[in-house]
Amino acid sequence: MHASWMGWSGPFFVLVFGLGGAACAGMGGAAEHYPRARQLNLEDIAGEAGKAYERTVCGCVRRDFANTLNVCISKLADPDLSDFEMILTIEPDGSVESICLSKETEVSVCLREALLDASFPAPPFAPFRGHVSMRLH
């Protein structure tokens, strides 16, 4: 599944569902290693409710954080536009408990910091681990 858009002036990125590898950070000191977080995500999206909710999370990131991503990129003289993936751990109230990144760059860390303050619709179960893959071009 792919969701993409060019809804702002700036680099193009695509949200996809994929694989990954490394750094995590979260509120309250919570942290998971990316491979384990990805494994938990795959378990969470095994059923239809999980798949549908992950699409909702990706849609919210696309709609609500496109400008944030643009700001993250535009404030850097030479931004690293390498692809990266995120696993968002979402609590029962829709708050983000932690985010694991497959790769830490200034851009991915900037977006992660903004998403840690995000609020999503309540998940069908919690904690829910949603996967978002970013391809920056």
Where is 21: in which H helix or E strand?
A: none
| DSSP code for 116 | T
Question: Total domain count for the chain?
Answer: 1
d(CA 58, CA 128): 13
Is 100 inside a domain boundary? yes
Give this prediction's pTM: 0.78
Is 2 inside a domain boundary? no
Is 7 inside a domain boundary? no
- Domain housing 82: 21-29+38-136
Cα→Cα distances 72→34, 46, 59, 106, Å = 22, 33, 19, 8
Which regions of the chain does DSSP assign to beta strands (E)? 2-5, 13-16, 23-26, 84-90, 96-101, 128-136
Is 119 inside a domain boundary? yes
* CATH at 84: 3.30.1150
User: Could you give the angle at the alpha carbon of 57 between the alpha carbons of 28 and 116, nearest 5°?
Assistant: 25
pLDDT at 37: 93
Tokens of 86: 């995120």
Residues 29-88 have pLDDT tens digits of 333 479 999 999 999 999 999 999 999 999 999 999 999 999 999 999 999 999 999 999
Is 4 inside a domain boundary? no
pLDDT at 80: 95
Q: Is the predicted pLDDT of residue 110 greater than 50, yes or no?
A: yes
Q: Is the predicted pLDDT of residue 5 greater than 50, yes or no?
A: no
Mean pLDDT of all residues in 11-29: 41
**54 residue type, one letter:** E
Is 123 inside a domain boundary? yes
pLDDT at 137: 75
Tell me if 97 sits within 8 A of 26, measured CB to CB. yes
| DSSP code for 33 | -
For every residue of 62-83, DSSP letters joined together read HHHHHHHHHHHHHTSSS-----
| DSSP code for 120 | -
Is 111 inside a domain boundary? yes
Q: Is the predicted pLDDT of residue 19 greater than 90, yes or no?
A: no
Is 16 inside a domain boundary? no
